[in-house]
Structure formats: C-alpha cells, structure tokens
A and B are shown apart, each in its own frame.
Chain A
Amino acid sequence: MTFRSKLFVVFALALLVSVGLIAAGVTVVTRRAFAELNRQHTDALVAQFQREFERQEAEVAHRVQAIADGEGTVRMAIALSQPQADVSTYVNDARGVAQSHQLDFLDFDGSDGAIISSAEWPARFGYKITWVTQPQDWAALGSFLTKVDTQDGPALGLMAVSTVRVGDNDLYVVGGQRLGKEFLGSLVLPAGMRALLYLNMDPAFQAANLLDPSGPVADADRFAPIINQEREHPGEQTFKISWTADAASAEMFHALPLMGRQNDLLGVLLVGSSQHDAVTLERRILLLALAVVGMGLLFGVLLSWWVAARVTRPVRKLAEGARKVSQGNWGARVDVRGSNEIGQLARAFNRMTGQLTEQRERLIQAERVAAWRELARRLAHELKNPLFPLQTTVENLQRAKESNSGQFEEVFRESTGILLSEIENLKSITGRFSDFAKMPQPELASVNLNDVVRGAVKVFEAQFNAVGRPPITPELHLDENLPVIQADAALLHRAIENLILNAMDAMPAGGVLMLRTTREAGEVHLEISDTGAGLTSEECERLFTPYYTTKQHGTGLGLAIVQSVVSDHGGRISVESEASVGTTFHIHLPAKPPPMTIPISAPAAAPHDREGA
C-alpha cells in the first residue's frame, strides 16, 4: 500500500469515526432526551392520576356524607331504629339515591352490617358486610380503595363510609365510585401515552382484568409477568414491552400499585408511553448520520485523495529519485520546494546524489587509471615472457651468424622454431585479450542446459583420462525434467568449458568433477564441483575480478568471462569452497531472462593479473 493510500485510509477512517461518533452522540443524547421526556410525561400523568384520585376521594366522601345527612336517610335510620322495623320498604332505595348523587356504588347497611339496600347489587339485600361494622373512624379515614362485590363480579371502588346513628342503632351509608375504564377515560393523556388499570380481584393474573378506557386490553397476557411481580412485591417500577419485532412498537410502562385500606394490593395503574416517536426520530438521525457519513466519505475520499496527493507528492518525488539512484542514475535530482521537513529531505537527497555522482566520477577515474595500470602490467608481464626467449634466440642467431660456424644452419632452424613458437604464444595472449574485449551479446534461443553440459563434458573426455596425468572422473547428475531456458548455447558452452578447465587445473592429482542440474522456482541451477585443494575466503571474494588469477600462466579472464556470460543471461554466479575438500560454483539462470539491458559503463576492461582457480 502506498503512502498516499495509507494517508487516504487514515483520513477516511478519521472522518468515518468522527461522523460515527457524532451520530452516536446525537443518538444517545436524543435517546436520553426522549427518556427524560417520557419520564416527565409519566410523572405528570401519575401526578394527574393522583390529583384526580384525590379529587374523587374528596368528592366521594362529600357525596356519601351528603347522602347520610339527607332527610330520606335520616328518616330511614329513625324508622329502622324502631322495634320490628320493616327493612323491606327500603330495598330499592339505594339505586335511586346513588343515581341522584352520581355514585356507582351505594349500600345502606344496618347495625349488624346487613345490606338493607344496594345500588350495585340490589338482590344482595340481607347479606352482611362485616368490615363496615368494625371499629373505625370512617369520617377521619375519608375515602379509600376497596374491592366491591357487584352483580357482575368484583370491582374496584373508591369508597367512603358515613354513619347515621339513631339511639343505639347505626345506619351505614357505604358509597363510592367505580375505578375502572371510566376513570381511565377521565385522565387527559398526551399523544403517544395511555393508561391501563389492572384490577387485582382474583387469586391469579386474569387478562380480562386489565382495562383501558375502551374495556379489556388486547394481548393482556404480555403484562402478566409485571402484574405478578407487583402482586408479590408492590412498588413503582418501569418496564418495556415490545409488541412486535419492530423496535418502534415498544412501549415503556410505569407501574403504580394501588393499595387498599389494609395495605392490600387492589390494582395497578400502568402508564404507558409509546417508543414510536423516539425510535422513529432515532432512525431518522441514524439515516441522516449515514447520509452524512456517505456524503462525508465521498467528500472525504475526494478531499483526502487530493490532500494525500499534495502531501505525498514530494515524498513520491523523493521515492522516484531514490528509485532512479537504485537503477544507477546517480545524477537524479528531486524538484521539491519548501522549507518543511520534506523540503529539507529533498535538498539533502539532492546533495547526496550530487556527492555520489562526484565520488563515482572520481572512483571511475581512479579505477580506470588503476585498470590501465594493471592492464599495462599484465601486458608487460605476458609479453615479457615470450619476448625474453625471442630476444635470446635472436641474439643466439646473431652470434651464430657472426661466428660463422657450421652450426648456423642448425641454430637457425632451432631459433626460427623457437621464434615461431613464441610468436604463436604472443598471438595466443593477444587473442585471449581480444576475445574478452569482444564478448558478444547473447542470442537467445530455447536451450536445454543438460545438453550444453553434456556437450562441454564431451569436449574434455580425452583429457580426463589423458596419459601421463592422474585421471579425473566426471559425474553428471542432471535433472531430466529441467525446463527449457532462453539462452545462448554457445556462450553457455564457453562458460562451462572455462569452469571445467578451472576444475581440472584445481585437481592436478586427479579427482572427481561433479556437474549437477536442478530446477528451482522460475530458474535452473547448475552446480560444478571439484575435489581440489580449495580456495581461501579472500580468493573467493576476488575470484571474478578480471585479470585476477592464482595460476602461473593464467590471464585472469576465464571466470570474468563466465561471470559476464551469466550476467548477460540475467543469472547469477557464486562460489563456495572449503580447504582440502574442494570448490563448487553455483550458476542460477532464469528460465526466461529479463529484457536485455545495456549495462552501464564500467571499467570492464580494467585488467587484473589473476584468474579464478
């Protein structure tokens, strides 16, 4: 990944994280705001319920007291205080009185608690209400919640009791309002909120006892756990119900227990607030955030791409300059302006390349001089050896002529023979130098390296077992599955011949010459080993230097030629050697050599006086 791409990714991630954090923050803040709003609405509704409850408490107490103080009730009390009073006369009175005082429940109970007349259950006359006769300051108690038995089953009533006392007889007036769907209907609810009332009239949860202003609530069973929890541990609590998989369908409910006179749980008020608006708004915020993220990302991509391009342009120029330097263009320069770190780096880079160029020029000059000196020394050395016999032979020939002896002819023949031999030697020396100078570019064709190896070995078969010298045993370990490579067979043949010659020279006492070919990833490997005396590490390092030789009569060009051939094929050559064990050359050639490049000018002609072992 490029620096620009990395920079772009960093910019994009930073933007994404920033927008995501902002969206999450807005969502959290919104959610909290809605939760707070819901809490306030719920508190307001609970307060409204409590106010309405207190108002109805006072109203019920007032109405019941008004009934007790009414003339009809007082007359009834007086009549019932008489011996043999006929209570049946009043059996239908409660209903009318209840209607006139707008009460849902009204009982006239005798001193023993027996119902004289009941508005909510007229047929229940005669049965005793025991709790009403218990000692209790009903006036001080005011209104209270209690379970009221009606013809249609138990109901929850906000009741008050008032007593009319005549002599020793009490007439109890028990009246009240039903706490049910009508009461819920009287509550003013904000949009999205609703109030439910569970009437705790049965030993277990009953779905039909959960009411809203229109009657029993649908899916009331969903409330069973919370109602059961309230039944076990009455107290205010909040819970959420998700009606469908859609989170917008959820409702938050606040449960308010309704306790009776004896601290028994008679009902539970449930104030519910829909999460629809909150979830919808949250989703809109999320969608908006996603849109902003998308837009931001798009904008960020463009901006960060542009910014990254601007920021990385000097760096890319520096990288390009470095790449050119690595490719040998030491004169590469970077055009970066500015006084920041990148500019300073560019200027330092330019100074460095300038210094490198100068140093290279100086080095080239120095090496060139050294090479010419070495070449001159080698030429002088090589030429001096044949020149001395030439000089001696010519001087012998001159002395023989001046002495005019009869041996002149014989001396002449021997001298001319020696002269011709040494001239031939000189021609050989100049030929080798000429060959090295004229190393041709390889002409690539499909070549089987094994065939080249076999051909080269075949050339030396006669010399391996030549009379008068210890035998050399060639061993070929050739991989028959070796791939065909693109190479110049003649040049390779010449390089392998040089290596075989070196190996033979390294084994004057005979030995084993091993040639091995193997295939490796994308290239072939040729290994040529001898069992000679081996080389020192210093010799190994200088082995491929032109004109370096360890032989008495070597030109130092053999391994330089080998290295040149291998290099021209895009391969590489290395040597490893161990004293008293032998030396091994490794040649790695690519199956498909890289495009031919013209090697940069180098002191290729710089002569050395030694050739590889």
Chain B
Amino acid sequence: MKPRSFLFLVVTSIVFAATAPLESARRPHYGGALRVEIGAVVHSLDPAVASSNSEEAAAKQQIDALIYDHRNSDGTFAGTAGSGPFRIAEWEPAQRVVLAANGDYRGGRPFLDSVEIQMGRAPHDRVLDLALGKADFAEIPPEQARHAAESGVRVSTSQPDELLALVFLPGRPMAEDVRVRQALARSLDRGAIVNFLLQKEGEPAGGLLPQWSSGTAFLFSTAADAPGAKALASQIAHPPKILLGYDSADGLEQTVAERIIVDAQEAGIGITLAAQAAPGGAPGNSSAAAASVDAMLIRWHMPSPNPRDALATFLKVYGPVAGLDPAPLPDAASPEQRYVRESAVVSGNRIIPLVWLPQVYGLSARVRDWKTPAPGDGWPLADVWLEGDAP
C-alpha cells in the first residue's frame, strides 16, 4: 500500500468514525418521552362528558386523536380508548396525562415511549420552557412566534387556518345600521394587525376562506379606507358607539380589539370593549354570552382544508350568530357558487374577517420528523422521534 493510499484510508476511516454516530442519531429510533405543554385544562377524557369551553374541547380532541384509532366522517373517533398509537398511562384530571406507546397499534408502534402532556401552562411559560429545554412540544400563540424564535425555540408554522373575525349580532341597533358596519369594516387596518400585533405571523383576511384553500381570497379587499370610513360615519346622525365583546381569556383578541378601537376612533366611531368569559361548548353558544354587546370577536379553526366544507361549516356555525341567510351551501357547490356565497356574506359586513392565523408549534431541538398537521388533523406524534434518546 502506497503511503498516499494509506493516508487516504486513514482519513476515510477517521471521517467514517466521526460521522457514524451522527448518522445513527439521525435515524428514527424508539424511545424517549415527549414533554408536551398545553394551555387548556382537560377535566375528563370521557367522550360522553362535554368540554367546558372550546379550548378544552380542542385539547381533548388532540388527545383523542392520539388514543383512538381513527376519526369518523362526523368527527367522532372510532374504536376504543387505547386503540390509537398511544394508551392512557396516567391521568390527573386538569393537570397532566401520560400516554404510553401502544405496541399493538395497527399503524405500528410509535417511536416515542410516552407522551407526557402538562395542562394549564400559560403561553409565556410554554415559550420559556421550550427555550430552557423543559418541554419538547407546545402550541405557541402566533403573536409570540417571533419572540419564541428569537429565544432559540424551533418554530413550526402551519398554513393560516384560523380566522379572527368581528361578528355583528342581529337585533342590536348598531348592528342593524349598514353604514355603521361598512364604516367600521373600512376603518380597519388589517395590515397593522398582522405586522405589529401578530408580528407578521398571519395574513390579512378579506374573505371567509384563506387564499391557500380557496384561491379566491385575493378578490376580497383587505386595505383600510380611513377617509371612506370617516365619510360614512359622518353621515350617521348620532356618532355610532359600538359595544364590542371579546374573550377575556384570549390575549390576542384583547389586543386586536384595542387596535380596532384606535382605527374606529379615527373614523369617528366609538367603541367600548366588553370582556366576556370564554364561551363554552359550540361557538354558537357565544351569542348567548354576548347578548348584551353589539358585536364580538370570534376565532374559527378551519375544520377541513376543503374550501366548500370549511365554508359550509362556518355558515352553519356563525350564520345564525350573525343573522345570515340560513340556506345551507349545496353539497355540490361549484367554486363560483362558493365564492358568490362567501362574497354575499362578506359584503353584508355582518361578519368582518380580520386576519388569518397560523397554528404555531414550538419544538425543542431534539424533536425529529415533525410534520405540521393540516386543518382538522391531530398532532402527528406517532411519527415523531426524539434525538438523543437511543434505545
């Protein structure tokens, strides 16, 4: 062997020896406990027990997606608890739940040995725990995504699939005056909300469906028209004063509502905020809680990436709240029909879309093979594995 060949062999061996552990670490392997932190508090995992609010219902749905085999077309989960990739190992109501890997899962045993879900963690604490390595996975409010990323947290952002909108409640004098609704809609600076409040996480919303889903969202204007709003408001005999309700537990709703006050005030519309307790159960119930307000802020998760299904669901849920045309969207509605219906809702200004919010997930550095779920899908934790937790 020539010295040159020997040298090549030594170098190659050294390089192989140095890279071999790295490659083995990047390969999926079993083991490890994924530490998850959520903001919601789940009081019961019994499917028969209704959740006290929408946040709890959503968290419960995520847990159900991990312990049930699959979801039916009506949204319910099939099989028995534990038929999914994980089984409930420990359960402390309203505090924590530990899910253990289900070796009998028909899709194959998940890589993780367990998933420990800590409940009731505040957004700031979740970001802090992620930055400090005390948590592996957590949902992060979109407005804190930038801060989390600057703190060293891996951030995974979905397509914007959550609509933040303002809904006028029927029967209220302010809600029934179309000039008031139009003036307020024109006064809103959605770009400022996205850029400043959401720290550029999200999109201005002009329609009821996001651009990535409908392909027609660009047809709806999202630009502010302060002079037009002012001119409209000045036509009203008495300066309009709107009582705007928002979820007192939702920081984003509060800051957006406060910004709406600023924009509306510039147009000559007075707005008073009314913090309200988080509505429980279905979104439609929120109307009862907000019976005393003229309008309210809502957040709506797209249940499906399918634009027709999403719009139909939206109209089904919020049509009665806003006093819209109760006619359902036909099952075989064409994109044109869907657009016309969507445009009709938006032009009435009874529902004023504000911004589309993405789902933002914070991940620790050791989480691997995370795929951002699509609207309606649960967390794909069965495919996730943890780096450094070799079997």
Binding site for B on A (CB under 8 A): 88-89, 91, 121-127, 151
Contact = CB atoms under 8 A, between A and B. Distances in A.
Nearest to B259: A123
A198 B224 CA distance: 37
Interface stretch (B12-20, B124-132, B191-199): B191-199
Nearest to B189: A126
Interface in B151-180: none
B266 interface: yes
B262 interface: yes
5 contacts: A89-B146, A91-B196, A123-B197, A123-B255, A151-B261
A88 B199 contact: yes
A532 B382 CA distance: 167
B200 interface: yes
Given A126-B189, A126-B192, A121 B199 contact: no
Contacts of A89: 146, 199
A123 B192 CA distance: 9
Interface of B: 146, 189, 192, 195-197, 199-200, 255, 258-259, 261-262, 266
A126 B226 CA distance: 13
B258 A122 contact: yes
Nearest to B199: A88
A88 B189 contact: no
Contacts of A124: 262
A125 to B, nearest CB: 5
B195 A88 contact: yes
Contacts of A126: 189, 192, 196
- List the 5 shortest-distance A-B pairs measured between CB atoms, nearest first: A123-B258, A123-B259, A91-B196, A88-B195, A88-B196
Given A88-B200, A91-B199, A121-B258, 12 more contacts: A89-B146, A89-B199, A91-B197, A121-B262, A123-B197, A123-B261, A123-B262, A124-B262, A125-B192, A126-B189, A126-B196, A127-B266
Contacts, number: 29
Contacts of B146: 89
Q: Which of A121, A126, A151 has the most CB of B within 10 A?
A: A126
Nearest to B146: A89
> Which of A88, A123, A151 gathers most chain B CB within 10 Å?
A123
A544 to B, nearest CB: 112
B224 to A, nearest CB: 10
A552 to B, nearest CB: 129
Chain A CB count within 10 A is highest, among B189, B255, B259, B262, for: B262
A183 to B, nearest CB: 25
A71 B262 CA distance: 30
A124 B197 CA distance: 11
Contacts of B258: 121-123, 151
Nearest to B150: A89
Contacts of B259: 123
A127 B196 contact: no
Given A91-B197, A127-B262, A122 B255 contact: yes
A91 B196 CA distance: 6
Nearest to B195: A88
B130 to A, nearest CB: 19
A122 B189 CA distance: 15
Contacts of B196: 88, 91, 125-126
A329 to B, nearest CB: 106
B255 to A, nearest CB: 6
A121 B265 CA distance: 13
Contacts of A88: 195-196, 199-200
Contacts of B189: 126
B269 to A, nearest CB: 15
A122 B257 CA distance: 11
B146 to A, nearest CB: 8
Contacts of A122: 255, 258
A423 B31 CA distance: 191
A91 B143 CA distance: 11
B200 to A, nearest CB: 6
A56 B192 CA distance: 35
A126 B196 CA distance: 9
Nearest to B260: A123
A125 B197 CA distance: 10
Contacts of B266: 127
Nearest to A117: B196
B226 to A, nearest CB: 10
B372 to A, nearest CB: 24
A429 B169 CA distance: 145
Contacts of A121: 258, 262
A117 to B, nearest CB: 9
A127 B266 CA distance: 9
A558 B200 CA distance: 150
A124 B260 CA distance: 9
Contacts of B200: 88
Nearest to A90: B196
A94 to B, nearest CB: 12
Contacts of B199: 88-89, 91
Nearest to B266: A127
B253 to A, nearest CB: 12
A127 B195 CA distance: 14
B198 to A, nearest CB: 9
A123 B195 CA distance: 12
B103 to A, nearest CB: 47
A342 B197 CA distance: 111
B197 to A, nearest CB: 7
Contacts of A151: 258, 261
A151 B265 CA distance: 11
A89 to B, nearest CB: 8
A91 B198 CA distance: 10
B256 to A, nearest CB: 8
A1 B260 CA distance: 93
B70 to A, nearest CB: 42
